[in-house]
Amino acid sequence: MPTIRKRNGKFQVQVRIAGQFMSRTFDTRTQAFAWGQETEKDILSGGYGAQSYTPANLAEVLRRYIRDCTPRKADPKAERYVLEAMLKEPWSQMPLCKVRTAHIAHYRDERLKTVKPSTLKRQIGILRTACLTAQREWAWQVPTKFVTSVKLPAVQETVIRRITAQDEHDLLSAASVTGHHYIAEVITLAIETGMRRSEIARMSVEDVDLERKIIVLPSTKNGRWRKVPISRRLEAKCFSGQDINQASVFEASIDGIKSAFRKVLEVKAGRRIRFHDLRHEAISRFFERGLSVPEVAAISGHRDLAVLARYSHADIDRIISIIHDHESDKL
């Protein structure tokens, strides 16, 4: 049981347990008692064993995470943008012991006015990872309950329309008049392989093995390398005249591909298509070709097969055709 005493109008809490002593001062007895209980629990579970430093606020945690961890991520620019935005929030500058779940809940509610639940969950996930990294790897005394306890909104799975042959034709036709000579090949590559935009931008000529008909991706979103098959169509469209002297296949950055694809959508008429929809379509086609879940996962890079399942949507017209053909055979 933590010991609490009032000194100079504030409440000092002391924790003596398992050979360790820790002390903090709070404005209210309730805050002091809550910290004392959580600290005792963390010590008994081994959470505070080797920790020796207490950061002044969350901003200190986030700045170090941006400096030491974010550069190693597959898309550091996006993560840095999220964390730097959090640094502007009042709760990031508060004393760490005063940050409560209510602060993060308010942040959640405000963000949901402008972003989708899935986006918010990813952003809160980055904050949670930063706090856990500080606690577990840096030996910093950083509480995590304020972020792990906040309730996140459920992500509603939306029905995603397949990219039809006409959609693909329209995209490639629009790509041919944008002035970006490589974007048509990038679109074909994404639909044929399911590669992410970042993976396409980082792909070098050395990653393409035309003899074995594979692309080796050493740097991926989940940190695991993988091999992607090259179809005959892909080889003919993208690699038949490959210049082996250039460093990258398309010599385009992630932002460059994003900008070029945006130009394609400005030209293309009809429904809007996200670049990520190309990956979704590729995975759906893999399943329709008869590949198993593990085989598709090996190509797409998904480690969670449950996540992979939501990418696969069978063509309902094809299913109806098979059912009707089966019924006709019995008539």
Q: How many Cα neighbours within 13 Å face the side chain of 293?
A: 11
Backbone angles phi, psi at 115, to 5 degrees: -125, 165
pTM of the model: 0.63
* 183, 179, 266, 241 alpha-carbon torsion, rounded to 10°: -20
Q: Which two tokens stand for residue 83?
A: 């964390």
Domain boundaries, the chain: 3-44, 58-148, 165-321
Q: How large is the C-alpha radius of gyration of the chain?
A: 26
Strands laid side by side in the 208-209 sheet: 208-209, 214-217, 226-229
- pLDDT at residue 50 greater than cutoff 50: no
d(CA 240, CA 191): 18
Q: Which two tokens stand for residue 41?
A: 């629990």
d(CA 212, CA 193): 15
* Strand blocks (E) in 3-159: 3-7, 10-17, 20-26
Q: How many Cα neighbours within 13 Å face the side chain of 189?
A: 22
* Cβ neighbour number for residue 17 with a 10 Å cutoff: 16
Of 183, 194, 195, 184, nearest to 256 (Cα)?
A: 183
Q: What percent of the chain has pLDDT over 70?
A: 86
d(CA 188, CA 278): 9
Dihedral sign from CA coordinates of 129, 131, 135, 138? positive
Average pLDDT of every residue of the chain:
84
Q: Once rounded to an integer, what is the mean pLDDT over residues 264-285?
A: 88
Helix (H, G, I), strand (E, B) or coil at 21: strand
- pLDDT at residue 330 greater than cutoff 70: no
Q: Which two tokens stand for residue 235?
A: 């080889």
Helix (H, G, I), strand (E, B) or coil at 325: helix
Q: Once rounded to an integer, what is the mean pLDDT over residues 2-26?
A: 78
Q: Which two tokens stand for residue 245?
A: 């002297």
d(CA 61, CA 94): 12
Q: Which residues on neighbouring strands pair with residue 4, listed in sequence order? A: 13
**Contact status, residue 38 vs residue 145, Cβ threshold 8 Å:** yes
Q: Quick one: pLDDT at residue 112?
A: 93
Q: Which run of H or E residues covers position 226?
A: strand 226-229
**Contact status, residue 107 vs residue 100, Cβ threshold 8 Å:** no
Tens digit of each residue's pLDDT (9 = 90 or more) over 194-249 = 999 989 998 888 888 888 999 998 877 777 889 999 998 888 888 776 554 555 67
Q: Quick one: pLDDT at residue 311?
A: 61
Sole residue written with tokens 């602060």: 103
**Contact status, residue 253 vs residue 201, Cβ threshold 8 Å:** yes
Q: Quick one: pLDDT at residue 137?
A: 84
Tens digit of each residue's pLDDT (9 = 90 or more) over 94-103 = 998 899 999 9
CA angle 180, 213, 251 (to 5 degrees): 25
* Cβ neighbour number for residue 256 with a 10 Å cutoff: 17
Q: Quick one: pLDDT at residue 51?
A: 47
- CATH of the domain spanning 165-321, picked from 2.60.40.10, 3.40.50.880, 1.10.443.10, 3.40.50.1820: 1.10.443.10
Backbone angles phi, psi at 256, to 5 degrees: -65, -45
Q: Quick one: pLDDT at residue 27?
A: 82
Tens digit of each residue's pLDDT (9 = 90 or more) over 108-145 = 999 999 999 989 999 999 999 999 999 888 888 888 88
